[in-house]
A and B are shown apart, each in its own frame.
Chain A
């Protein structure tokens, strides 16, 4: 079975083991260690880790298309934000009549705009299953239409990157408009409950952290299964020599479309997990800069490894948390410096460094063996 193949690989098992250990450790330190103890992990930190994990899933989605298919998407933030908006709409409907204006059905911003009923596209978002389905389907549908047009016309390379950028920029402008019905520049916020749990409660925060971890694990295994299959090898072949792959009889544009849609859905899932943890979704998530930042995480971590994307996303966002706390003005300089240093000294990213260290640790045995042969 192609889906279970990753479980035979040591690298995947190591990754899942580390992730699981981290999830258990954080949970134990949060629940079992009493508050005030130096080892206690507070709810704020759990929440922060959950956010990192949802970013990590987003980075894995980008690495799938960039690393293995060679499509540099500078618009993946759009899929992330759409997933986030779908989740945000569900959370808005959960507020019910407890909003500022106390309207039983309409979110506050609609009352404020003097709307008298919900727009049609808000229908169904009061149901969790529907909203969670839309989290996957809306980004997937956009990727399907966009990818169909782009890949059929054989748009590749820089041009494709530019139109993905244009896509997310256009969506940002659209979502800024109040008439769109997504809260304009303020976006959706003031969430209260998810699946009946108070979002500010420790249980909900821990639950969302664990859900992000599980989603990352599932997304990682799915991507690993795809890249480890023959389809994954067709993707790599497409990345390196598209015309040649076509010549072998593969309908390249369909493979690109398939992987692009899977990636967009994973990005949507990441966005849906991100929004309840930060408590807000607004059009800034569509900003082209954010999409470029995701690509930076993947580049820093190491492209075409999947786990590199996870490392990159967590490292950069941890650094961002630290820097914006200590020296908010210096963050962009630090990000730039990190990128330059990694490009110059670690062209294969942090993952490349890890692989190199592992190889070096194994090599001394080989050297020893040959040394003996020479002396004998």
Chain B
């Protein structure tokens, strides 16, 4: 009887009706935690004993010469590559090494690839609409309408990326830089907790770089952002915290001034750059 009464109790909220709490547990600080990660391809150690911690809301730049393991590191975080040893945690609850790519993506890790791919025949607005987290099965997609909430969300991202003026134009007419911003906007539509951005300013003009710097620094705080970039000027303009990778492990870490005055860093990376600047 008491069981039946408990079923009829309207005050009671069953566990399965309670929305899952924020799936990512960041109470202990870091949102991303890599420990002693090693990957080797045919005996070559692409990542060698890498340790890296990204705090919630942090904007981190990763630099390093070609072959330092930057892209491999991104691949490990997104589940594309499995490390031979080591641990990778998202928050303090999710072991990324036990999950596949779509699972990791739906946890809230978004990745922007080097080459921007947007849907050129669709408008900027429609690009963002398709990217939005939603029920992506056939019938819900066929009958999907445009609610005020969705429109607000898209408008918000349009403002963030500075594409509001162009929202009704086909994405094909956008400049290279604008396409990059649209692609970042498409990632934002999925409300990621952690954004991995691979070489965002390659091929951009000075003004576009400045705008991208504003965009990425604006995101930090709300999202955690990890930027892999070659362009030292750009890194200097956005970075609070810089990690230098070399031969698959962390060579130096700190703010830009600390890092750029580190003699080892100058030797392996900045040295070449500095020479060029002198010349």
- Which residue numbers of A lie inside 8 Å of B, CB to CB? 1-2, 226, 229-231, 233-234, 236-237, 239-241, 243-245, 248-251, 254-255, 258
In the assembled complex, the Cα of A241 lies from the Cα of B138 at a distance in Å of 18
Contact of B130 with A233 in the complex, beta carbons under 8 Å: yes
Cβ–Cβ contact B130 & A248, under 8 A: yes
Residue from A229, A231, A236, A249 in contact with B121 in the complex, judged by beta carbons closer than 8 Å: A236
The docked-state distance in angstroms from the alpha carbon of A145 to that of B83 is 40
Whether A231 contacts B141 in the complex (CB less than 8 A), given A240-B121, A244-B117, comes out as yes
With a cutoff of 8 Å between Cβ atoms, the chain B residues found around residue A234 in the complex are 130, 141
A229-B143, A244-B117 known; A258 vs B122 contact (CB < 8 Å): no
Q: Is the CB of A249 within 8 A of B136?
A: yes
Bitwise, B102-132 to A at CB < 8 A (1) or not (0) is 1001100000000001111110001001110
Q: How far is the CA of A226 from the CA of B138 in the complex (A)?
A: 11
- Is the beta-carbon distance between B131 and A248 smaller than 8 angstroms? yes
Known A229-B142, A230-B142, A249-B102; judge A240-B119 contact (CB<8 A): yes
Whether B144 pairs with A229 at a CB distance below 8 angstroms is yes
Interface residues of B in 73-109 (CB under 8 A from A): 102, 105-106
A245 surroundings in chain B (CB, below 8 A): 119, 130
Q: List 28 A-B contacts (CB under 8 A).
A: A2-B143, A2-B145, A226-B142, A229-B143, A230-B129, A230-B130, A230-B141, A230-B142, A231-B142, A231-B144, A233-B122, A233-B126, A233-B129, A234-B130, A234-B141, A236-B119, A237-B122, A239-B121, A241-B118, A241-B119, A244-B117, A244-B118, A249-B102, A249-B105, A249-B136, A250-B130, A250-B136, A258-B138
In-complex Cβ contact of B138 among A243, A248, A254 (8 A): A254
Complex CA distance for A254 and B136, rounded to whole angstroms: 11
* Contact A244 to B119, CB < 8 A, known contacts A229-B143, A234-B130, A249-B105: yes
Q: Which residue of A lies closest to B142 (CB)?
A: A231
Residues of B within 8 A of A237 (CB): 119, 122, 130
Across the two chains, which residue of chain A brings its CB closest to B144? A230
**A231 contacts which chain B residues (CB < 8 A)?**
138, 141-142, 144
Name which residue of chain B comes closest to A246, CB basis: B102
A241-B127 Cα distance, complex, nearest whole Å: 12
Complex Cα distance A237/B131, Å?
11
Contacts of A239 in B (CB 8 A): 121
**Cross-chain contact A236 with B122 (CB below 8 angstroms):** yes
Complex contact B117–A241 (CB within 8 A): yes
Closest 3 CB pairs between A and B? A230-B144, A231-B142, A237-B119
Q: Which one of A1, A233, A251 contacts B136 once the chains associate, using CB atoms below 8 Å?
A: A251
Q: How far is the CB of A258 from chain B (nearest CB, A)?
A: 5
Chain B residues, Cβ within 8 Å of A241: 117-119
Interface centre among B126, B129, B142, B144 (most CB of A within 10 A): B142
Cβ contacts under 8 Å, B136 to chain A: 248-251
Other than the given A248-B131, A248-B186, 8 more pairs (CB < 8 A) read A2-B143, A239-B121, A240-B120, A241-B119, A249-B102, A249-B136, A250-B141, A258-B138
Q: Specify the chain A residue showing the minimal Cβ separation from B119.
A: A237
**Taking the nearest CB of chain B, how far is it from the CB of A306, in angstroms?**
15
Q: How far does the alpha carbon of A226 sit from the alpha carbon of B142 in the complex, in Å?
A: 7
Measured between alpha carbons, how far is A237 from B121 in the docked complex, in Å?
A: 8
For B119, list chain A residues within 8 Å (CB): 233, 236-237, 240-241, 244-245
